[in-house]
Amino acid sequence: MTPRANTSKLRITLNTTRDREFLDSWAELEVIGATPAGGVERQAATAEDGQMREWFSQWLRDRGFTVEVDRVGNLFGLLEFHDGAPYVLVGSHLDSQPRGGRFDGAYGVLAGAVAADRVRRHAAESGVTPRYNIAVVDWFNEEGSRFKPSLMGSAVFTGAADLEDTLNIADHDGVTVREALTAIGSIGDRDVFGAGEGSRRLAAYAEIHIEQGRELEKDNVSIGLVDRTWAANKYELNVIGAQGHTGATAIDDRQDALLGASLIVVALRDIADEFGDELHTSCGQMTVLPNSPVVVPREVHMHLDLRSDNDELLAAADAALRKRIAEAEIRAKVKVEHRKAHVWPGHHYQPQGVELARTVADDLGVSSMLVQTRAGHDSTNMKEIVPSVMLFVPSVDGISHAEAEYTADEDLCTGVDLLTETLARMLDGALDSAAAERA
Amino acid sequence: MTPRANTSKLRITLNTTRDREFLDSWAELEVIGATPAGGVERQAATAEDGQMREWFSQWLRDRGFTVEVDRVGNLFGLLEFHDGAPYVLVGSHLDSQPRGGRFDGAYGVLAGAVAADRVRRHAAESGVTPRYNIAVVDWFNEEGSRFKPSLMGSAVFTGAADLEDTLNIADHDGVTVREALTAIGSIGDRDVFGAGEGSRRLAAYAEIHIEQGRELEKDNVSIGLVDRTWAANKYELNVIGAQGHTGATAIDDRQDALLGASLIVVALRDIADEFGDELHTSCGQMTVLPNSPVVVPREVHMHLDLRSDNDELLAAADAALRKRIAEAEIRAKVKVEHRKAHVWPGHHYQPQGVELARTVADDLGVSSMLVQTRAGHDSTNMKEIVPSVMLFVPSVDGISHAEAEYTADEDLCTGVDLLTETLARMLDGALDSAAAERA
């Protein structure tokens, strides 16, 4: 991408003061739930997540936003310019993986909030208000580590998941979403947006995130314009064997649930090797029962995922996996139960959103390129109901879901600038044509 | 084995009253820590283990035994016929695996106690006291599920393990052996037996246990005479990878600790298949970090064991495993740390003990055969310091370390009878020649 001259109407020349505002807030935010090794641990609706939500709510109120929380714990900061006008929503998630990185999610929420605040100040100073109202969001439980599945808050928001079912999902200790949100005082009794008469309505959505990959870094590009998501098949399996003594039980008599599970983990990698770069396969979670050194395991719970940008290839990989699971059942003398499956098809983001962000990048003289996302994001859900823009900033070595995750200050600040200008243009109706296509 | 006429001097004809005494006590014992599915859960130094120890201490006191607990929680019931005379010790362990069987360990303790009590009553009624004193024992933490390694109490007793090191071993929640034993009030401040002047001394040891195998059942034999233990190599490994996003991290960039661990589990089975019936290999415990569905695991802790009755074959299997671990390191891009290793060589029980038990079985008209033990037992430790007799009773389908473990009342009662007569002969010096060989 060739840098171009700045033709933005809102563009305020990059300066230290403006970057400093973002970085100072970032410095306050990133210590909440910080771990000794430089990461964070703020799993959904834990005390640390609650502490973060209080800090963020205060940040919003200090700048004139109204704070509301919906029935599944999505936290909104609202700024109304025109009574009854639709809102452009911007945000991401403040929860993290266990021993996760500082940037995943939290960067997008603060970047969105700072972008919204810049628009607010520009409107106050210029006397020219945007056509749409602004809302900032912290989606509940994007990560899905404590409560499964991931993308929980945005899924309920868009109607992809049921509210009551979701509130009754329990964590490993039997605590439900409802109980955990109540414990941190972060659950509302009504929707913040809706379809009914007099409800707040949405016009569009924007989100910025670290890349969680190496494409931008490799090509030395500042902004990724996400045009596609990878499809993801996620499975929860129970491998059922029979408990026995590791010393006394003859090998032929064993029904070894851990052997069955291990054969499946190895099969996942074999299939990835066979299908090539277009396929990612993983098993991230495995729980062994009874998990005693001298007991042949009776049961293993495991979570698998298969992801690809190619739906046909994903279907072929899925079939290959099922064949290998059947073979594992025979060799380990176990039964594999398919407990749950979440299937996210691959999807395109609205091309008008991609084009808008590309134009903004060109106007700001910022390099950009098309990228795909292999990870799921809340925008994956949101693009199904409103035109949505998804932006990436570079992440060093592509490290993610790990404490070593890192993005340079300069890249963070460039992302905030780009998001600000994109948001400003969305607030003036830049994606109305995409919305009209949907209607 | 051909049943023979009963020539025992102590032999009291089998009768309902006598069997009933054992079975009534057994009915009281087996409900402590009972699980809904018919098993028990009394892991070492838990509340259930404490409750069992109280019940058993009362049982012993009611029958005139003195109860003492040593510094690592081994619980002894002592019956002194002659001041200063050595003791014959009989017992097993009352702790269980998580969701373990009712018979493993507990049967041997109650059988030993009932046998000792029968000898006591016979002495009181006949006026003829044995040459040696009697002690009954509940060894602390034979199972090794909560605190590792297994055979803990008997290992400290025989000097195979260090007392202080053992007391400082912590469970998964960081609770030490010392703290857990103190919490259930089952830790003493001195040795119960010892080598010093005026200390109580041991002459011999006897233990009875369910077979945890199918040899007796298959051959329809009532008593197994254990003449050999299988050797066991037990390893604790840490597989070290790097945490990453399951969606975003390219397959080639992954350092997947769970893939590494799974390759090792599969290798264990491959090696068992290759080496045949003389080798058992297992992985019973695996803990995955951080264990989140969308995170490539950074670390896996695993416990392996390899067992064989053939030392050379075990060494060859061990070498094969190390080769496969090195291959797993390369494929999964992980580092495997060998954290701990416990090696129990295969050993013979004293042939005089085997011969004594065989004679008793013949005299009682009970069928018997030589068997090996693949599982470790406290007698595995004890036979290293005194002549020891190890007896098995049949276990239906060889099920063990599982709730479905089952031995018929008739087999339990036959075992108690055989143990009683064997103990009586040991108390009169039947294994003195074996002791003299050791000295």
Handedness of CA A368, A370, A376, A380 (dihedral sign): positive
Listed as ranges, residues in chain B with pLDDT below 70 are: 1-16, 438-439
Q: In chain A, what residues touch B272 (CB-CB under 8 Å)?
A: 251
Cα–Cα dist A316/A322, whole Å: 10
Binary contact (A294, B401; C-beta < 8 A): yes
Say if residue A3's pLDDT is above 90: no
- Backbone region of residue B45 per phi and psi (left: phi > 0; alpha: psi in -120 to 50; beta: other values): left
* Three-state DSSP class for residue A185: coil
Say if residue A6's pLDDT is above 50: no
| Confidence band, pLDDT 50/70/90 cuts, at residue A11 | very low
Say if residue A15's pLDDT is above 60: no
| Token duo for residue A328 | 């594992």
| Token duo for residue A361 | 């990048």
Q: How far lies B345's CA from each of A274, A293, A400, B230, in Å?
A: 43, 18, 46, 7
* Lowest model confidence (mean pLDDT) among A106-115, A332-341, B16-25, B88-97: B16-25
Answer for the pair B340, B161: CB distance below 8 angstroms, yes or no: no
- CA-based radius of gyration for chain B: 23
Chain B residue with minimum CA distance to A300: B286
pLDDT at A200: 96
- Going by the DSSP 8-state scheme, the letter that residue B210 receives in this structure is E
| Confidence band, pLDDT 50/70/90 cuts, at residue A438 | low
Percent of chain A with pLDDT over 90: 82
Q: In chain A, what residues touch B249 (CB-CB under 8 Å)?
A: 212, 280, 398, 400
Handedness of CA A254, A258, A261, A262 (dihedral sign): negative
Q: What pTM did the predictor assign?
A: 0.76
Say if residue A349's pLDDT is above 70: yes
Q: In chain A, what residues touch B273 (CB-CB under 8 Å)?
A: 251
Question: Mean per-residue pLDDT for A70-75?
Answer: 98
- Name the nearest CA neighbour of A306 among A258, A271, A339: A271
Question: In Å, how far is A127's CA from the nearest CA of chain B?
Answer: 44
Question: Mean per-residue pLDDT for A74-90?
Answer: 97
| Token duo for residue B90 | 């009989």
pLDDT at A213: 87
Q: In chain A, what residues touch B253 (CB-CB under 8 Å)?
A: 214, 398
* Three-state DSSP class for residue A111: helix
- Name the nearest CA neighbour of B325 among B345, B308, B302, B342: B302
Q: At A322, which helix (H) or strand (E)?
A: helix A311-332
* Lowest model confidence (mean pLDDT) among A69-78, A220-229, B232-241, B335-344: B335-344
Question: Mean per-residue pLDDT for A79-88?
Answer: 96
Q: In chain B, what residues touch A228 (CB-CB under 8 Å)?
A: none
Percent of chain A with pLDDT over 70: 96
Q: What is the DSSP string of B222-283?
A: SEEEEEEE-EEEEEEEEEE-B-EETTTS-GGG-B-HHHHHHHHHHHHHHHHHHH-TTEEEEE
Return the HEC string of B376-425.
CCHHHHHCCCCCEEEEEECCHHHCCCCCCCCCCHHHHHHHHHHHHHHHHH
Binary contact (A145, B277; C-beta < 8 A): no
- Option in A98, A247, A261 nearest B292 (CB): A98
* A86 upstream amide cis, omega within 30 of 0: no
Binary contact (B247, A148; C-beta < 8 A): no
Binary contact (B284, A291; C-beta < 8 A): yes
| pLDDT tens string A239-284 | 999 998 888 888 999 999 999 999 999 999 999 999 999 999 999 9
- Name the nearest CA neighbour of A70 among A143, A135, A164, A140: A140
Say if residue A5's pLDDT is above 90: no
Cα–Cα dist B149/B342, whole Å: 8
- Option in A145, A285, A291 nearest B285 (CB): A291
Question: In Å, how far is B20's CA from the nearest CA of chain A?
Answer: 30
